[in-house]
Amino acid sequence: MRISRWSRSVAAGTGGVVIAALATTASAQESIAGPGGPRPGPDATPGGVSASAPPRSGASWTAEDAEDFWTAGRMESATPPPAAEAPAPGSAQPGATAKTKTRTQTTATAPRARAAAATPSATSYKGAKTIGVLYYVDSGMTAHSCTASVVHSPKGNLILTAGHCGPGKKHAFVPQYRTGKPAAQQPYGIWAVDRFFKDPRHTDTGPGSNLDFGFATLKPDKNGRPVERLTGANTLTRTPNYRVPVTVIGYPKAKYDPRDRAIKCRTTTSRLPGYKQLRMKCAGFHGGTSGSPWLMNFDERTQRGQVVGNLGGAGGGGSSSDVSYAPFYDDQVFKLYDDAVADVAKVERSPLPYALGTGETWQHAKQLASGDYTGDGKADLLAVWAGGEVTLHTGDGDGGFSAQRRLKAPNGTWKHAAAITGGDFAGTGRSDLIVRWSDGEVTLYPDVSAAGFGREVRLAKAKSTWKHATQITAGRFSGNKRADDLVVRWSDGELTLYREAGDGFKKETRLQKPNATWKRAALLVGGDFAGSDRGDVLVRWSDGKLTLHQDVGTGGLGRKTQLRGASALWKHAKVATAGGHTAGGRPDDIVVRWSGGEVSLYADTTTRLGTERNLVPPRTT
């Protein structure tokens, strides 16, 4: 379930999964990207500029061959009879999965399960001649694998489906598919696919999932006719907005629908937050429905409409069989359409702009620290992941990021980094990192850079009292010119200040005696929010309240300002840091990782929270 600034009232529950184990097998079709964004698709070139050469099914693969191949026996083996007690389309089914032939369904939480009762369900449908199924000879004949639809084109030979549905070898399209009939007896025949066209930047997660559409050209039938002459066609149409009344028609696999026939749902879409995708709630769109057209103004008489999306997108097309996604049709889909019409030899695209990644990945970011680690005067973001990986994300100085570098591969040591903070502890003018480890050891890494950590300086031994340092944050709390001081919140509620911490923890000032109040300080974020060139501390309390303490120093916690009252929203702020991520360079930009994996930047925070920018969309399930 999405947890974001609109609804962070449901906590994430995916603890224990390490970042090193996120990659699934290629057959899972739902691989979770590593830190920093989705993996490139299979057609991506090493340099990042992708090029795809649409494969042909073979000159010898014709409509007659497809008809001969798909005998009644093979069609029957491809759609085996379901169990006698299989539920009707749209009903909940244990293990009922994906829109594609391989995507796995996420288990619903209890609140989601209760809400499912109010979700509309698709109904069985006679089918439309412009919509049908895709069979793949190389799929093991386990089922028709995806749904496709005819779209109008100059040659009348074009179908539309999801990008993740192809390409395959010797695949065929069956309009208005009828179960139990061989290819030769299908109402509008069977059509051999010639070439498949997809955007080479498409990925299952992240921004690349917005490009989950594909086209295929069909060979003519034995009489030389194109498919559109027999079936008619839908019209490819720009998506007018995110709230669109649509009719969605698709073909679930036989194991999800005992009648092995089309289903239809009429509904109004909304936006999938953080993505350029439509979202609909309608039960029944199980595996096999990827590629289903989302049609405006569908006419039952002509069986045509305006296609403004296709079932696909993040994670392969939805978070369950009840919630489905579709890419928003803009210039990108029309560029691919033009390539398919022109029968280009290669589909070539410039790489997508760099993005941090997705909530599915960032929910595993355990610790964050800001600092100028690349030496270009702009704040960067260092992340320690649950699997022990450490990554550095290069800041662009405008609140965004331009690249990622791995500083540590997943490992057992950095799994034990319990708290980190960035500052200039060594006095070289470069950003350093202090790490408090789970066994109480504290180490300083001077001059961390894109090249790595360099030398290690021990500030406290293992099994020291620092095992009880629950929160640490650095800043200019002693009035000198360096952010080399450390504020520590201890497990008993004591609050202490260590000046010039890079020289060891010798200059200690108690800011608060042990107390019950400060035990509830869940996050400390040091920065210069008030603009006085002195260190301030923002506190996120266990009840979601936010307070700002200005000019923290040896004299105490300074002036206190409440930025937010107690709220469920800020309870879900799990990790936070502050740095000079925007123009001006003052460390007043707060980066927050929420429990749903969403990452936000609050730029130019003062005694009021700055404007929120979304850096990473929340996970989709």
pLDDT at 290 over 70: yes
Per-residue pLDDT, averaged over 19-41, amounts to 29
Give me the torsion for CA of 592, 594, 599, 600, rounded to 10°: -50
* Strand-by-strand arrangement of the 270-271 sheet: 270-271, 277-281, 323-327
3-state secondary structure of 230: helix
Distance CA 609, CA 252 (A): 48
The sign of the torsion formed by the CA atoms of 275, 603, 433, 14 equals negative
Give the per-residue pLDDT at 375.
94
Contact between residue 477 and residue 552 where contact means Cβ atoms under 8 Å apart: yes
Per-residue pLDDT, averaged over 581-588, amounts to 93
Query: Angle at Cα 377 formed by Cα 374 and Cα 434, nearest 5°?
Result: 55
Strands (E), 20-82: 50-52
pLDDT band at residue 209 using 50, 70 and 90 as cut-offs? very high
What does each C-alpha distance from 204 to 44, 252, 349 come to in angstroms? 14, 20, 18
- Sequence spans of domains, the chain: 123-342, 359-610
Q: What are the φ and ψ backbone dihedral angles of 99, each rounded to 5 degrees?
A: -75, -30
* Strand-by-strand arrangement of the 521-527 sheet: 521-527, 536-541, 546-550, 559-564
In one letter, which amino acid is 56? R
Contact between residue 272 and residue 325 where contact means Cβ atoms under 8 Å apart: yes
Contact between residue 277 and residue 325 where contact means Cβ atoms under 8 Å apart: yes
Give the burial string for 354-385 (b: 16+ CB within 10 Å, else e): bbbbbbbbbbbbbbbbbbbbbeeebbbbbbbb
Give the per-residue pLDDT at 480.
86
Bridge partners (DSSP) of residue 475 are 485
Classify burial at 229, counting beta carbons within 10 Å of its beta carbon; exposed 0-12, middle 13-18, buried 19 or more: middle
8-22, 164-178, 455-469, 478-492: the lowest-pLDDT one: 8-22
- Whether omega for the bond prior to residue 167 falls within 30 degrees of 0, making it cis, is yes
Bridge partners (DSSP) of residue 437 are 417
Give the per-residue pLDDT at 114.
36
Per-residue pLDDT, averaged over 513-520, amounts to 98
In percent, the amount of the chain with pLDDT more than 90 equals 72
123-160 per-position pLDDT tens digit: 999 999 999 999 886 544 456 889 999 999 999 999 99
CATH number of 359-610: 2.115.10
In one letter, which amino acid is 203? T
Residues 6 or more apart from 432 whose CB is under 8 A from it? Answer: 371, 422, 423, 424, 425, 426, 444, 445, 446, 447, 448, 502
Per-residue pLDDT, averaged over 542-568, amounts to 97
What is the CATH architecture assignment of 123-342?
Beta Barrel (2.40)
Contact between residue 581 and residue 601 where contact means Cβ atoms under 8 Å apart: yes
